[in-house]
Chain A
Amino acid sequence: MSARSIRRGVPRSGGIVDVLIYTILIVMAIITLYPFLNVLAISLNDSTDSVRGGITIFPRVFSLQNYKAIFTYDTLLTGFKISLLRTVVGSLLGLISASMLAYTLARRDFQGRRFVSLYLAVTMYVTAGLIPFYILIKDLNMMNTFAVYVLPGIVSAFNVFVVRSFMDGIPYEVQESAKMDGANDFTIYWRIILPMTKPALATIGLFLAVGQWNAWFDTYLYNGSSEHLTTLQYELVKVLQSTTNNSGDYRSMTVNRAASTVSPDSVKMAITIFVSVPILLVYPFLQRYFVKGLTLGSVKG
């Protein structure tokens, strides 16, 4: 049997099961596609017309004004660059930290294993609160820096545990043989284990990237007054908040109305699309790691 046929074939007997599976999946795809198409349609629709509602998956009165409204803000470019930078740097740092820690925890012979696992797990559930953390950042002189985007969050216990659970599936012989060849723990980690945990890395990488890309609250809290460090999401949230009004301070509403001809809801939709697109473009490259049958097989190696 060639490798090809192994990957391909299941005996034809699963006919009805196949149909059932495909049907369910198609239904799920339709249900989950709808909100996104709806948002896309409204974003491409004239805003005054959108207020009338009733738009489903096609724009009724096609218009690019919502996107134009976003692009009138020239801080977007800086935001885009910074967001991109922090996504790349933050994800890489997070990947290294998670995989390295996961490796040490996956090694049953590591003494500190139980303690470190416990120590990390607890970090997931205790929060000090906004004010002490804010003061910490201030005391570390990380206010108004790029570092505050990528440094504090380097260690994520959740990511560590996910990667570790993947690493637990790697047979020990692999490490044994490497050790016999004289490799130290770090080399084993870097050269052998890491390449074998690609699905895990892809998954965590995706979560990290999405988290970094969508982050704006830290910009708001720590870098609010530095335009050169603004992030894309933060700029868009600013646009959004300016047109809608969440505060109960309705009395200053009349004083504060900026002249705007583009209704807020359609801008909200355009923003959603605008921010999602990059992730959607990146995802297909990661997707192959979630496909069955790609990774293991190095047992013999």
Chain B
Amino acid sequence: MKAMPDRRPAAEPLAPIRRGALRRAFRNRYLYLMSLPFIAWAFVFTYLPLWGWVMAFQKYSPKLSVWERDWVGFDNFRTLFQDETFYLVMRNTLAMSFMALIAGFTIPIVFALLLNEVKNMAFKKTVQTISYLPHFVSWAVVAGIVSKMLSTDNGAVNDLLMALGILDEPIQWLAKGKYFWGIVTLSDVWKETGWNAIIYLAAMAGVAPELYEAAKVDGASRLRQMWHITLPGIRPTIIILMILSIGNLINIGFEKQFLLGNNLVVDYSKVLDLYALEYGIKINRISFATAINMFNSVVAIILLFTANGLFKRFTKESVF
């Protein structure tokens, strides 16, 4: 079963540039009108403040204006790349974001697929509403719950595993660095799956019912329908989201790692954003913080372009 054929007009071949281009532009005039205001808007609020990046190359001083400050060139970047903590922190960040990427795509999609199959409206709505509730509970509270559950002092997880005979003694899960990444990923899945599934559910709602009808007539099982109709139907959405998420690979924030971590697992829990906070803004090293910020943005752009390019080549879908 294929998806609907793409009948949109292809981009028109490039006719003699000048007159053809102007004529096309005139034909598209409404489209331009509809998009230009927002482009200007984005310029003012996103691109314009980027002048601030120049602070990464200066010695920041609130008293002096941008023109008056001392230039330090790439010193801040040199400090950054020579700090061994930086590499440790990058490792942690990348590890956790890869795990989050994989878990954050597979599980919500599977959940959405399952939910989509449910015919009983009441059940479907109830489960869906319940599933996104953890999204509203702050990480501070969730971290507290997770800590309690993993505790050796009557913690639910240890109690359960000992009752099942898998463990003889309780394990201090949060004290061992090697479990940390897994704990963070699982906690995130728990908290965000329902919420992340919303987009996929909405996309699935847009798949034409006729396709399913035709499939059923052909005798396809539920599983085959999912594989050949639902998934391809939401393929564009999945790919777009994947490309965009890859761009954010190192921008994962620090809240959950900070709240779930402690001093025993610090080698596994410290992430780039926390490092930036501790060595940047918190101690008033604005230039250094700006340098890390620039680094983040540049890496993100590179990742974005790479992901976009790869997907465009292999799947014909892309963000741009």
For the complex formed, measure the closest distance between the CB of B29 and the CB atoms of chain A, giving whole angstroms. 8
In the complex, whether A22 has a CB less than 8 A from a CB of chain B is yes
Interface of A (DSSP majority class): helix
Are B49's CB and A161's CB within 8 A?
no
Cβ contacts A227-247/B at 8 Å (1 or 0 each): 000000000000000000000
Are A108's CB and B205's CB within 8 A?
no
- Counting residue pairs across A and B whose Cβ atoms lie within 8 Å, the total is 274
Bound: A105/B11 CA distance, A: 12
**Contact among A107, A135, A279 for B31, CB-based, below 8 A:** A107
User: CB-nearest residue of chain B relative to A175?
Assistant: B8
Bound: A125/B155 CA distance, A: 40
Residues of A within 8 A of B46 (CB): 123, 126, 128, 155
Are B206's CB and A296's CB within 8 A?
yes
For the complex formed, measure the closest distance between the CB of A218 and the CB atoms of chain B, giving whole angstroms. 12
Are B240's CB and A184's CB within 8 A?
no
Bound: A101/B39 CA distance, A: 9
Residues of B within 8 A of A135 (CB): 49, 52
Are B127's CB and A28's CB within 8 A?
yes
For the complex formed, measure the closest distance between the CB of B122 and the CB atoms of chain A, giving whole angstroms. 11
Q: Which of B205-240 contact A (CB under 8 A)?
A: 205-209, 213, 216, 221-223, 233, 236-237, 240
The verdict on A293 contacting B114 (CB below 8 Å), with A10-B119, A133-B49, A283-B129 known, is: no
Are B222's CB and A161's CB within 8 A?
no
Are A7's CB and B130's CB within 8 A?
no
**Contact among B41, B50, B236 for A168, CB-based, below 8 A:** B236
Of A73-81, A83-91, A110-118, A252-260, the one contacting chain B is A110-118
* Residues of A within 8 A of B (CB-CB), count: 102
Q: Bin the interface of chain B by size.
A: 35 or more
Are B129's CB and A280's CB within 8 A?
yes
Interface of B (DSSP majority class): helix
In the complex, whether A100 has a CB less than 8 A from a CB of chain B is yes
Are A110's CB and B236's CB within 8 A?
no
For the complex formed, measure the closest distance between the CB of A255 and the CB atoms of chain B, giving whole angstroms. 23
Bound: A171/B211 CA distance, A: 14
The verdict on A185 contacting B190 (CB below 8 Å), with A21-B114, A35-B133, A121-B304 known, is: no
Q: B residues within 8 Å of A by Cβ?
A: 4, 7-12, 21, 24-25, 28, 30-35, 38-39, 41-42, 44-53, 55, 111, 114-119, 121, 123-134, 136-138, 140-142, 145, 148, 190, 193-194, 198-199, 201-209, 213, 216, 221-223, 233, 236-237, 240-241, 244, 247-248, 251, 281, 286, 289-290, 293, 296-297, 300-301, 304, 308, 319-320
Chosen A-B contacts, 27 in total, with CB atoms closer than 8 Å, are A7-B209, A11-B216, A21-B118, A22-B123, A25-B123, A28-B127, A31-B190, A32-B194, A36-B130, A100-B34, A101-B35, A104-B32, A110-B31, A116-B35, A119-B42, A121-B320, A123-B47, A125-B304, A126-B300, A154-B41, A169-B233, A169-B236, A185-B31, A280-B133, A289-B202, A291-B124, A296-B206
